[in-house]
Amino acid sequence: MAFFILGKKVRKEILMDTKKERIIIFDTTLRDGEQSPGASMNPDEKLRIARQLDRMGVDVIEAGFPIASEGDFESVRQIAREIRNSQVAGLARANFVDIDRAWEAVREAAHPRIHTFISSSDIHLQYQLKKSREQVLKEAREAVRRARGFTENVEFSPMDATRSDWDYLCDMVEATIEEGATTVNIPDTVGYAVPEEFGNLIAYLFAKVRNIRQAVISVHCHNDLGLAVANSLAAVKAGARQIECTINGIGERAGNTAMEEVVMALATRKDFFHLQTRIKTKHIYQSSRLLTQITGIPVQPNKAIVGANAFAHESGIHQDGLIKEKITYEIMTPRSVGISDSHLVLGKHSGRHAVSEHLKKMGHALTSEELNKVFVRFKEIADAKKEVFDEDLEAIIFEELYRLKDKYKLLYLNVVSGNVAIPTATMQMLVDGQTVQDAGFGNGPVDATIAAIHKITGTNYDLVRYAVTAITGGTDALGEVTVQLKFDGKTVTGRGAHPDVIVASATAYINALNRLEWMKGDRKKIPVEE
Average pLDDT over residues 25-50: 90
| Residues 186 and 161 sit within 8 Å (Cβ to Cβ) | yes
Sequence letter at residue 307: G
Report phi then psi at 479, rounded to 5: -90, 130
| Residues 57 and 278 sit within 8 Å (Cβ to Cβ) | yes
Model confidence at 21, pLDDT cuts 50, 70, 90, reads confident
Residue-wise pLDDT for 334-390, tens only, equals 889 988 754 444 777 778 888 888 788 777 888 888 899 889 988 888 887 666 777
Sequence letter at residue 223: N
Average pLDDT over residues 188-200: 98
Residue-wise pLDDT for 270-328, tens only, equals 999 999 999 999 999 999 999 998 888 889 888 999 987 887 644 444 445 545 666 66
| Residues 234 and 271 sit within 8 Å (Cβ to Cβ) | no
Q: Which residues of 416-427 are buried (b: 16+ CB within 10 A; e: fewer)?
A: ebeeeeebbbbb
| Residues 262 and 245 sit within 8 Å (Cβ to Cβ) | yes
Edge-to-edge strands, sheet with 490-498? 462-470, 479-487, 490-498
Distance CA(389)–CA(400), nearest Å, equals 17
- Per-residue confidence (pLDDT) for residue 255, from 0 to 100: 96
Pick the CATH number of 408-520 from 1.10.3720.10, 3.30.160.270, 2.40.50.90, 3.30.70.1340: 3.30.160.270
Neighbouring residues of 322: CB distance < 8 A, sequence distance ≥ 6:
313, 328, 329, 330
Model confidence at 475, pLDDT cuts 50, 70, 90, reads low
Q: What is the dihedral of CA 26, 29, 30, 33, to 10 degrees?
A: 130
CATH of domain 22-295: 3.20.20.70
**Angular region, 434: left φ>0, alpha ψ -120 to 50, beta rest:** beta
Distance CA(179)–CA(455), nearest Å, equals 60
Edge-to-edge strands, sheet with 434-441? 408-416, 424-431, 434-441
- Per-residue confidence (pLDDT) for residue 411, from 0 to 100: 95
| Residues 221 and 228 sit within 8 Å (Cβ to Cβ) | yes
State what percent of residues in the chain have pLDDT above 90.
61
Distance CA(427)–CA(436), nearest Å, equals 8
Sequence letter at residue 255: G
Report phi then psi at 308, rounded to 5: -60, -30
- DSSP H helix total and E strand total for the chain: 18, 16
Distance CA(217)–CA(214), nearest Å, equals 9
Distance CA(183)–CA(63), nearest Å, equals 17
